Every structure is written in C-alpha cells, then in structure tokens.
Amino acid sequence: VGLLFVSFLLFKRIKLAILNFRIKSLTREEQILLGLMKVIQKDTFEHGKMSIGEYGGAMLEYEKRLNEVVKDIIRFETERAHLFKLGGKEQELLDERNRLLGLIKKTQSEYMTQGKYEVRIYTNKMQSYSERFSEIQENLAVLEAKHALNKNSIIEKIGKRIGNTFK
C-alpha cells in the first residue's frame, strides 16, 4: 500500500513538472506570436515591406496558432490546478468555466480601459476564450445528460425489482 501511494505521488509530481513545462513553453510561444504579429503590422503598414495579401495570410496563420495556444494554456492551467484535488470532471469543468469568465472580464477591462491590446489581438483572445467556453459548456451538458440517464437507469432497475417482488 505504501509503495502504491509513493508511486501515485511520484506520478502526480512528474505530471505537474510536465504541465509546468508545457504552460511555460506555451506562454513563451504566445509572447513570440504576439511579437511577430506586431512586426508584421509594422513591416506592412509603416515600412511597406509586405503586400496586404502576404500580411493577411501571415496574420491568419499566426492568429490560428495563437488561438490554439491560448486554449491549451487555459486547459493545462486548469489541469494543473486540479492535479492534487479529489473531485470529478464536472467540478474541474465548472472551475475552468469560472476561470474563463474571469479571464474574459480581465481582457475586456485591459482592452477597454488600459488599451493593452490591439483590436485584432483582443478579438483573437476573446474568440479563443469563447471557443473554449463553448467546449466546456458542451462537456458539462454531456455530463449532465449522462447523470440523468444513469439516474433513470437506476430508477428503472429499482422499479423492476419492486415490481418483481410483488408478482
């Protein structure tokens, strides 16, 4: 039993190290992508080094990748937060949903009041957040449906057993 517990803790510790590494590398990648997007904008609009077509294509690729990176960061941070907690998938999804709502409010505030983001970057971040939010809502709905089906199944089994005892 002791060896099993130590193995479990070691597994969780290794998983934590991997999650920390992934979050750190994704955060760096996010900063690099944001920097590249700014460079492309300057090269196109200030220096005239790129055509609008090239600019649009490059920005589209960077935005797609940035979208994935932001969603992955959120997912890994939530997984890290729940690594040592005993709880179900539903609680993890609820916590991630609440965290996302906080990030959405924070990003909106930083954009509106502080002017921290450019329009395109702000739009991309909000799109990433809303896509992940939709995924979470969908997963929560699926879990809720499974719970309802299981509850109905249990009630039917009890009903059949009660019905059989009275026959």
According to the model, what pLDDT value does residue 138 have?
96
Asked if the model's pLDDT at residue 157 lies above 80, the reply is: no
Closest CA to 90 of 150, 166, 167, 164: 150
According to the model, what pLDDT value does residue 98 have?
93
According to the model, what pLDDT value does residue 110 have?
92
pLDDT tens figures, 61-120 = 999 999 999 999 988 998 898 888 777 888 889 989 999 999 999 999 999 999 888 888
Q: What is the mean pLDDT of the chain?
A: 89
Residue 69: C-alpha distances to residues 27, 56, 147, 160 (Å): 8, 20, 32, 51
When pLDDT is cut at 50, 70 and 90, the band that residue 166 belongs to is low
Asked if the model's pLDDT at residue 50 lies above 70, the reply is: yes
Q: 48's torsion region: left (phi>0), alpha (psi -120 to 50) or beta?
A: left
Cα separation, 67 vs 54, in Å, equals: 20
Query: 12-16, 52-56, 82-86, 108-112: which has the minimum mean pLDDT?
Result: 82-86
